[in-house]
């Protein structure tokens, strides 16, 4: 094993922000107990913000960004992780408070990583990443209507932002769970692909962008919302009695112009979903649920793979809404 490796490094000296691929040595790492050889990472919205200017998220520089990674343990710690174990890291403030996944090696605390399920390879783990984890958390939140609250079966489900990383996985997972999924998208050319993922219906997001009524016709047993704003407000107004609206994003805005009416007349529940501050036990459970709910052959059709150098050229496209596919980062490419 070589002591040197490549990594994306961001720095901010005297308000001069820089990003570059550099050659580092393993003695760069000051924290963590488990040394991991990274195979893949991915590109999320938070990653793009950090690559742009730190996104007001990184407090200490220099820093290796990348909130996710998958790889193999080369130096274990204790009895939990040994050499050869395949592992995943998502969230945990990686790439912000400590070095992240845009590198060929990293050293992390054992509490931040989980073992990769046997039926998922390292590349597939990063086709999912934080977005996939969030999608499944949202799907379970919607399903809680029947399994936790003992209400009627969840049949009709709406997914907003359905061509995004969270939305695509949510569409597939909810369909695999036996629900009729309606996907909202602003990309009509993706309609056939959304149906291949499992969507029964595809609607133009323009139908949801106007101001919402106080309450509307009850249409949805559950909603997975990744965008916020008026689209979320309309989805809430259209949710059936005792329905669950799982929210995890704000691509259309932070503000929510709604009223108490759907919540007090229909007992609609607004369920916030966060994939960063969840327990390790919960993460392990979620990751082990994935294999039976996904078809990676279909998901692969919406994936582009890039190297570290390419990453520095394409991340602005995510911030400008120009990316049409999930970006997987092969750190050894």
Condensed to tens digits (0 to 9), the pLDDT of residues 156-199 reads 999 999 999 999 999 999 999 999 999 999 999 999 999 999 99
Equal CATH topology for 4-116+295-330 and 133-272: no
How far apart CA 265 and CA 260 sit, in angstroms, is 8
Sketch the domain layout of the chain as residue ranges.
Answer: 4-116+295-330, 133-272
**84 Rama class: left (phi>0) / alpha (psi -120 to 50) / beta:** left
- The third-level CATH classification (topology) of the domain covering 133-272 is Rossmann fold (3.40.50)
Number of residues that this document lists for the chain: 333
Cβ neighbours of residue 51 closer than 8 Å, sequence gap 6 or more: 8, 10, 19, 65, 311, 312, 315
Per-residue pLDDT for the chain (333 aa), expressed as one digit of tens each? 678 999 999 999 888 999 999 999 999 998 899 999 999 999 999 999 999 999 999 989 999 999 999 999 999 877 889 999 999 999 899 999 999 999 999 999 999 999 999 999 999 999 999 999 999 999 999 999 987 877 889 999 999 999 999 999 999 999 999 999 999 999 999 999 999 999 999 999 999 999 999 999 999 999 999 999 999 999 999 999 999 999 999 877 788 999 999 999 999 999 999 998 888 899 999 999 998 999 999 999 999 999 999 999 999 999 998 888 999 999 999
Quick one: pLDDT at residue 1? 66
Quick one: pLDDT at residue 89? 97
Quick one: pLDDT at residue 79? 81
Condensed to tens digits (0 to 9), the pLDDT of residues 58-70 reads 989 999 999 999 9
Beta bridge partners of 18: 11
Measured distance between the N- and C-terminal CA atoms of the chain, rounded to whole angstroms: 18
Domain 4-116+295-330 is classified in which CATH homologous superfamily? Answer: Medium-chain alcohol dehydrogenases, catalytic domain (3.90.180.10)
Considering only CA atoms, which of 141, 112, 319 is closest in space to residue 247? 141
Burial 108-136 (b: 16+ CB within 10 A, else e): bebebbbebbeebbbbbbbbbbbbbbbbb
Judge contact between 229 and 253, C-beta under 8 A.
Answer: yes
């Amino acid at each position: 094993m070589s002591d040197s490796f490549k990594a994306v490094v961001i720095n901010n000296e005297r308000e001069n922000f820089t990003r570059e691929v550099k050659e580092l040595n393993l003695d760069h790492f000051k924290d963590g107990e488990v040394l991991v050889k990274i195979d893949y990472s991915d590109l999320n919205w938070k990653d793009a913000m950090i690559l742009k200017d730190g996104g007001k998220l990184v407090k200490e520089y220099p820093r290796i960004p990348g909130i996710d990674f998958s790889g193999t343990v080369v130096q274990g710690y204790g009895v939990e992780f040994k050499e050869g174990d395949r592992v995943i890291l998502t969230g945990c403030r990686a790439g912000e408070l400590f070095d992240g996944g845009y590198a060929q090696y990293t050293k992390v605390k054992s509490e931040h990583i989980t073992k990769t399920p046997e039926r998922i390879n390292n590349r597939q783990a990063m086709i999912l990443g934080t977005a996939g984890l969030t999608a499944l958390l949202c799907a379970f939140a919607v399903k809680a209507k029947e399994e936790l609250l003992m209400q009627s079966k969840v049949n009709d489900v709406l997914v907003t932002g359905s061509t995004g990383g969270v939305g695509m996985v949510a569409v597939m997972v909810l369909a695999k769970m036996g629900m009729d999924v309606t996907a909202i998208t602003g990309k009509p050319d993706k309609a056939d692909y959304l149906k291949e993922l499992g969507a029964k219906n595809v609607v133009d997001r323009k139908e949801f962008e106007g101001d919402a009524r106080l309450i509307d016709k009850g249409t949805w047993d559950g909603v997975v919302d990744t965008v916020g704003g008026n689209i979320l407000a309309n989805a809430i107004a259209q949710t059936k009695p005792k329905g669950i609206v799982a929210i995890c994003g704000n691509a259309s805005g932070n503000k929510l112009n709604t009223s108490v009416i759907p919540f007090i007349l229909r007992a609609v529940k607004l369920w916030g979903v966060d994939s960063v501050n969840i327990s390790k036990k919960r993460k392990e459970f979620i990751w082990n649920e994935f294999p039976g709910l996904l078809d990676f052959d279909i998901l692969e059709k919406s994936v582009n793979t890039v190297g570290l150098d390419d990453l520095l050229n394409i991340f602005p496209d995510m911030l400008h809404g120009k990316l049409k596919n999930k970006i997987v980062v092969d750190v050894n490419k």
